[in-house]
Structures are given as C-alpha cells and as structure tokens.
C-alpha cells in the first residue's frame, strides 16, 4: 500500500513538473532545405494542443483531476471503514494512517502547481533565465 501510494505521488509530481518544463522550452524549428523530400503528418490534436508541452500539460491535468476524484472516494471509503471498525484500536490506527496518506497525497497533487509558480518566480528574480523563457513558463502555468 505504501509503495503504491508513493509511486502514484511520484508519478504525478513528475508529470506536473515535466509538463511545465517542456511547455516552457522554446526550441527553434527550421524548415528543411527544399531539395529534401519531406513527409508531413498532420496533428489530429492541433485544435487543442499545438505542441508537446501542451499535450503533457493536458495529460497532467487529467491525471491530477483523476487523482483528486480517487482521493475523495478513498476518504469516503475510509470514513465508512472508521464507522465499521467498532472501536478496535489496531483497526483505528491503520485507518488513521491511511487517512493521513490520502490527505498527504491530495496536498502534494494540489501543491505541485504552487511549486511550479514558486520556481518560476525564483528564476525570474535571480535573473538566471532570460525573460522570454520566463514569459513562456508563466504562460504555461497560467493556461492550466
């Protein structure tokens, strides 16, 4: 149970962090020389996601929403189990530990967005990153 919960929290943090980083990255795309043959594939998601960063952000948003819904259902189920534990101390200890992990998971999923904004503000105030990158990162964080 603890390993699974830790894995879910870790994966959700990585998805949120990678989504913000990839979306904020400003790469240059150059047209290939006309002498080369180019095969073009149209993006089926172009009306919603124009680049990889937006796609990862969309996926991270879906995962975050699903994790919150699952956490709420787990809180309800754990509350029901509290009622049916009938005051057994070992069972109550196990359930209160489970409830703590659920609340911690919710805090991490919600706090991940806050962490991204803190990193952006810190990089901006330090002057270590150029302003166009900061603006792109801020746009990525605000588009969620």
pLDDT greater than 90 at residue 121? no
How many helical (H) and strand (E) elements, i.e. helices and strands, does the chain have? 4, 0
pLDDT at residue number 124: 81
Distance between CA atoms of residues 99 and 107, nearest Å: 12
Between residues 19 and 122, the one the model is more confident about: 122
Between residues 59 and 92, the one the model is more confident about: 92
pLDDT at residue number 93: 93
Residue 15 CB partners (closer than 8 Å, separation 6+): 56, 59, 60, 63
Any idea which of 26-35, 90-99, 115-124, 125-134 has the lowest mean pLDDT? 26-35
Task: Place 28 in a pLDDT band, splitting at 50, 70 and 90.
Answer: very low
Task: Place 95 in a pLDDT band, splitting at 50, 70 and 90.
Answer: very high
Cα–Cα distances in angstroms (integers) from residue 88 to residues 19, 76, 82, in the given order = 45, 19, 10
pTM, entire model: 0.56
Query: Which string of b and e fits 77-107 if b means at least 16 CB within 10 Å?
Result: ebeeebeeeeeeeeeeeebeebbebbeebbe
pLDDT at residue number 26: 46
Whether the Cβ atoms of residue 22 and residue 54 lie closer than 8 Å to each other:
no
pLDDT at residue number 120: 79
pLDDT at residue number 118: 83
């Amino acid at each position: 149970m603890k390993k699974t919960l830790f894995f879910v929290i870790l994966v959700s943090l990585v998805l949120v962090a990678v989504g913000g980083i990839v979306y904020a990255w400003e790469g240059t795309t150059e047209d290939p020389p006309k002498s080369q043959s180019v095969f073009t594939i149209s993006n089926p998601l172009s009306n919603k996601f124009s680049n990889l960063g937006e796609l990862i952000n969309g996926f991270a948003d879906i995962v975050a929403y699903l994790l919150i819904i699952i956490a709420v259902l787990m809180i309800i189920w754990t509350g029901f189990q509290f009622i049916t534990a009938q005051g057994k101390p070992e069972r109550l200890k196990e359930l209160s530990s489970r409830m703590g992990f659920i609340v911690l998971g919710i805090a991490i999923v919600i706090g991940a967005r806050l962490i991204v904004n803190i990193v952006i503000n810190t990089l901006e105030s330090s002057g270590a990153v150029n302003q166009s990158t900061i603006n792109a990162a801020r746009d990525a964080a605000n588009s969620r």
